[in-house]
Amino acid sequence: MGLFDNMFNSVPTEKKYVPEDTREAYAVVLYCCANAEGNIGDEEIIFIDTLFQTMAIFKDHDGAEYLQIAERVYSNYSSHELIEGSINCVKENLRPQLFCYCCDVFLADGVVTEEEKKILENLAQISGIDEETSKKIVEVAIIRNVIEK
């Protein structure tokens, strides 16, 4: 073994994101969804904050604070690392609910891009949501988010 082998050939350690609590996990996943195309605007932030106001887990908590946390950690991890770490913090029985909220975020503008579809598929898989259930959730989200033309 050469003098510098262990310095230059070491395998980089994978960063693991671990949210402080379920609210942070929700905020981070929804933030990643809203930022799927690489940019997030005020409309998306307002939409997510409005969603928080309807969620029981955010009762008596300031959703804006959690969005600030999400924005901060987003610069330190990839979306995949953030979503995976967050899902691991969400109880299994709450994962379909979070998946539904993600659908709402993706459908807010009436168009679901290919990148957003990939994130939804990955999210369903990581969450352990079977294909039939995930399709039902998407169908309901589409019905709820129909934009009249």
Q: What is the pLDDT of residues 42-98, one digit of tens each?
A: 888 999 999 999 999 999 999 999 999 999 999 999 999 999 999 999 999 999 999
| Structure confidence at residue 110 (pLDDT) | 79
One-letter amino acid at 32 equals C
Residue 149 lies in a domain: no
| Structure confidence at residue 68 (pLDDT) | 95
Residue 15 lies in a domain: no
| Cβ within 8 Å of residue 145, ≥6 positions away | 103, 104, 107, 108, 110
Whole domain around residue 48: which residue ranges? 20-144
pTM of the model: 0.86
CATH number at residue 82: 1.10.3680.10
Q: Residue range 132-137: average pLDDT?
A: 96
**Please, which pLDDT band fits residue 144 given cuts at 50, 70 and 90?**
confident
Residue 108 lies in a domain: yes
Nearest to 123 by CA among 40, 50, 36: 36
Give the pLDDT confidence of 94-124 residue by residue, as tens digits.
Answer: 999 999 999 999 998 878 889 999 999 999 9
| Cβ within 8 Å of residue 20, ≥6 positions away | 69
Residue 1 lies in a domain: no
pLDDT exceeds 60 at position 10: no
**Please, which pLDDT band fits residue 11 given cuts at 50, 70 and 90?**
low
Residue 93 lies in a domain: yes
Cβ-contact 108, 73 below 8 angstroms: no
pLDDT exceeds 80 at position 3: no
Q: How many domains does the chain have?
A: 1
Residue 2 lies in a domain: no
Q: How far from 20 is each of 17, 30, 98, CA to CA, in Å?
A: 10, 16, 17
Measure the CA–CA gap between 105 and 29, rounded to whole angstroms: 10
Measure the CA–CA gap between 140 and 30, rounded to whole angstroms: 18
Q: Residue range 12-22: average pLDDT?
A: 83
What distance lies between CA 99 and its chain's CA centroid?
8
Measure the CA–CA gap between 130 and 125, rounded to whole angstroms: 7
**Please, which pLDDT band fits residue 1 given cuts at 50, 70 and 90?**
low
Residue 9 lies in a domain: no
Residue 79 lies in a domain: yes
Collapse the DSSP code of 17 into the 3-class scheme (helix H, G, I; strand E, B; otherwise coil) and give the result. Answer: coil
